[in-house]
Chains A and B, each alone.
Chain A
Amino acid sequence: NAGVMQNPRHLVRRRGQEARLRCSPMKGHSHVYWYRQLPEEGLKFMVYLQKENIIDESGMPKERFSAEFPKEGPSILRIQQVVRGDSAAYFCASSLSQGLSSNQPQHFGDGTRLSIL
């Protein structure tokens, strides 16, 4: 299955620790989006990346959160010094392209459920 792969599926951290969430996009996809979903709420956009570039991080908190999508390997969402409020499901999505041939649908991973003790 060449779908979007996220790991781990579940991650438990204590307050103050670091959380690293990984996302491998679908084969051939070079656009990655990260979203956060809180219970009973919709998806909140966090960051949009292409290979080696952050295109839009307007939805990401200015502190403690960072994202990267290196030339080789998965995209990483990193949360430093986690707090209880970071508990949520984090979803990664990938798409084929943007621009004139855009409006491509996004393909989602099954998410990482982050729990902060």
Chain B
Amino acid sequence: GDSVTQMEGPVTLSEEAFLTINCTYTATGYPSLFWYVQYPGEGLQLLLKATKADDKGSNKGFEATYRKETTSFHLEKGSVQVSDSAVYFCALSDAASGGSYIPTFGRGTSLIVHP
């Protein structure tokens, strides 16, 4: 079945540091890949997505590139802010290629940014 593996948190950084949160996946078909962000007390919000190999999703300074050869979709940001502190979830959806129509989420990675 499909699965998503994220690096364990918490990831603790100082403001303006470089961020990488690793995400790898296994899928039966050719999935679309997503990053969601969850701020305290709120639901998940879509951060960015990519639907095919070598696509780069980007939003709010975050970006991730769909790497089919390494089955990865690592999240990066060049300079984090305190307001980026949240939990980040990597996810995949395999429905269009005949896989499960239930999106698969990683366990989430907590990011804490200090001033």
Query: Which residues of A are interface residues toward B (Cβ below 8 A)?
Result: 4, 6, 33, 41-43, 45, 48, 55-56, 59, 91, 93, 98-111
C-alpha gap A100/B29 in the complex (Å):
13
Provided the pairs A99-B95, A103-B32, A110-B43 are in contact, do residues A45 and B108 lie with their beta carbons within 8 angstroms? no
Q: Which of B62-70, B77-85, B96-104 contacts A (4 or more CB under 8 A)?
A: B96-104
Does A103 lie within 8 Å of B51, measured CB to CB?
yes
Does A108 lie within 8 Å of B106, measured CB to CB?
no
Chain A hits for B32, CB < 8 A? 103
How many CB-defined contacts (below 8 Å) exist between A and B? 62
Provided the pairs A4-B43, A105-B46, A108-B43 are in contact, do residues A98 and B108 lie with their beta carbons within 8 angstroms? no
Closest to B94 in A: A103
Contact of A107 among B41, B46, B101, B105 (CB under 8 A): B46
Does A103 lie within 8 Å of B89, measured CB to CB?
no
C-alpha gap A13/B48 in the complex (Å):
37
Of B44, B51, B105, most A-chain CB atoms within 10 Å: B44
Provided the pairs A42-B105, A45-B102, A48-B101 are in contact, do residues A103 and B43 lie with their beta carbons within 8 angstroms? no
